[in-house]
Structure 1
Amino acid sequence: MNRQKKERTGLKAFSAMILSIMQKEKSIEYTKVADIIMGMTEGTGDDKNVKRRVYDALNVMCAVNLIKKDKKMAYITDNQMCSCEEEVERRLASLGQAIVSAPKLRERVEEKRRILEETVRRKDLLLRLIKRNSEREIEEKEKLHLPFILISTKKKSRIDCETNDRRSYFKFIFTSPYKIYEDVHILKQIFGDASVRSEVKEHHKGISQGQKENVEAPKKWNPPHEMDRATPGSPLGSSYIFTEDDDWLNLYNFLN
């Protein structure tokens, strides 16, 4: 049933109906095309969606040069060519591949937007840190150079660290729960980032509740986006791997 409905309301079906109308009318208003097709598909119960799909189909057909548009009018480009079903299907199929990839492209754009916003925030944090440090006199031995990470775990926890000669790979193995903080996370706390403070507050609240109710804390506290590199089941317990692919950590200088 759903497949039949999709065949009646898909891009191919709407394109065929539009071509049928255009071959008779030669030129017609966009809105009139939509009204005619809504009448042809009466009974779907979704007129608003049908109209949107018709406009989408018109734009697609314009993109593959089956029709052309001028303001509110649509014109057929080549009546003889448009009567060739194989040529019409070939053009629609070629554009259909691009249409399918459009959602993926939007996802990539959205991801790049998030990355850009985070980069701007990091730049702002670094500028504020530079300004703050310029107003203070600190001895060299007390300075903590960027980039860095902080690893939080219990005092009695045993920690093993494995690395290679180039120090481009690090593996930490813990016997107790742990959490890893990037340098940017620390800077956000220093300069009052509301989202980070809320996260830290909830984290400590969860720990307090766990102690009060005598509930065992989670095995891994590392950030969700890093979960895929956590490697449970090691001889000592939970572990975490760093590589030189980490853009926020210069591993060649780490632990020097």
Structure 2
Amino acid sequence: MEDKRTPRLSRATGDRNSLGTPALSGSHSASTSSSAGSPSSRSDPALTTPVSESPLARMNHLDVHGGDEGTLEAAVSGKKKKRVARPVAGDKSGRGLRQFSMKVCEKVESKGRTTYNEVADELVTEFTDPNNNNGSQDQQQYDEKNIRRRVYDALNVLMAMDIISKDKKEIQWKGLPRTSLSDLEELKAERIAVKNRVEKKTAYLQEMQDQHASLQSLVKRNVQSYGSGIVPPGGVPLPFILVQV
């Protein structure tokens, strides 16, 4: 009966060691064998074998988890790569407001005079691929509306920058703004000329105000003279001519 109990103890200790519990030392194994009543020579081989196998089980256990972590990292990295690649596929058409502004600017410049519908129709035909039948009809209509909205925004931007002008439905090309040194000199000369004209008109206005004040004082004096009964001996017959020197 004593010989049959020792293998059960060794199996139990081996299972515990494989699950990650600390292995039994030599002194502890000797005490358990002596409590069971078996000789130490018979219990030593049975108790020492699970201790030697427990590190291998631990290494196998770690290898399994290490492989799982590698697969998880690969899956996460694959998801990240897919998420990063999505915007690149969406931007391949290059249908931003900047691109549409350049296209609209080129169209209006080449035509000189045009309309919104003409520019929008040409850009819809240019950006819509007739060979692409994968998209649904709703998607094609959405793309056309999006292109027309972009053209409308681009025309408003160009109009705000004074590059184009709009008269009812007609759009006219005015030109790109220039910032050369000659243009700056012309603007400075124009500013000086305008300033001189303003000064001359200010002086003329002051002279007219003085004349108006003089005439008002003359009228007031005449009214006072006629009111007091003092009438000049001679008058000026009407009509008369007044010459200012």
More strand by share: 1
More helix by share: 2
For the criterion TM > 0.5, the same-fold answer is: no
TM-score normalised to the size of structure 2?
Answer: 0.30
TM-score normalised to the size of structure 1?
Answer: 0.29
